[in-house]
Amino acid sequence: MKGWLVVNGFVDSAKFCELYSFLSCAAEKRGIALEVRKSDSFSAPLGEKIADVDRPDFVLFWDKDIRLAARMEKEGLRLFNSASAIEICDSKALTAEALTGHVPTPRTLIAPKTFEGVGYNRLKFLENAARVLGLPIIIKEVYGSFGAQVYLAESLADAEKTVSALGHKEFVMQEFIEESRGRDVRINVVGGEVVSAMERYNCNDFRSNITNGGKMKPAALTPEMEDAAIKACELIGLDFAGVDVLFGKDGPIVCEVNSNPHFKSSLECTGVDMSEKIMDHILERLK
């Protein structure tokens, strides 16, 4: 069995490389030859095959290069996760659209589109959003991770300042789940089953991300939490994911779904190595 681990050609921080080595190790244990292929190493023009003579049995796509993923699928390669699932997770607007009405998720408004050089030069829509969603209000760039592009605006003036600094970047506005301030559960799902879960908490920030200073402890999940995480993955069509679930006053609320989760913290917290589960899942699906 031969696979490609497709990774981004430009991001090579130790944090990412470590994840790739966990995945390679898990593959090796199962006799899978997993070759790391950087996204900038493919040079077949459109209309020509990316994988011609050297065709892998599967591709573990650990990048967000949707065009490359879609091309690979078009020539019949089986991707874990699929191009469409990665695309939905990459965009917090698409994720909110996919989940809303099917699993509990914060009420979300997608910011109206603007253009480079124009920006959000009228902010009346923010006033309307604050009226509909309440204050404080969450403002999230559509593309972002590690909590770095998520903001909490306490007042309308705060929200206006945040949005003015975004230039023309796409963003969403979200109801702030106050009960869950600085606290959530990262639930890792593989093949429709929960494999591990950790609670993340931060007393000094509304964001619970570990990279942003959050602490972690193993989480005891309620059946409702498990169901919400599994259903979110089903809706998006994910083989595996890390799902961020907030504590709502009436039960769990799905905040975000990560198609390429950084599972090292979960491993340290729970002892469960997600890379092993992912490889078992791939083998099972290719039978």
Query: Which of 87, 90, 256, 273 touches Mg ion by CB under 5 A?
Result: 256
How does strand 2-7 pair with strand 58-62? parallel
Answer yes or no whether residue 244 interacts with Mg ion by CB under 5 A: yes
- Binding ligand ADP (rule: CB under 6 A), the pick from 65, 184, 273, 276 is 184
Q: How many CB atoms lie within 10 A of CB 31?
A: 8
16 phi, psi to nearest 5 deg: -75, -45
- For position 209 contacting ligand ADP by CB under 6 A, the verdict is yes
Size of the site for ligand ADP (CB under 6 A): 22
Pick the binder of ligand ADP from 82, 208, 260, 266 (CB under 6 A). Answer: 208
144 near ligand ADP, rule: CB under 6 A: yes
Print the binding letters for residues 163-182 with ligand ADP: x by CB under 6 A, - otherwise: -----------xxxx--x--
Nearest approach, Cβ of residue 256 and Mg ion (Å): 4
By the rule CB under 6 A, 111 interacts with ligand ADP: no
Q: What DSSP character marks residue 188?
A: E
Report long-range pairs for 135-140 (Cβ below 8 Å, ≥24 apart).
Answer: 135/159, 136/176, 137/173, 137/174, 137/175, 137/176, 138/106, 138/173, 138/174, 138/175, 138/176, 139/163, 139/171, 139/172, 139/173, 139/174, 140/92, 140/171, 140/172, 140/173, 140/174
Per rule CB under 6 A, is residue 210 in the interface with ligand ADP? no
Helix, strand or coil, per DSSP, at residue 138: strand
Binding residues for ligand ADP, rule: CB under 6 A, are 106, 138, 140, 144-147, 150, 174-177, 180, 184, 206-209, 244, 246, 255-256
Binding residues for Mg ion, rule: CB under 5 A, are 244, 256
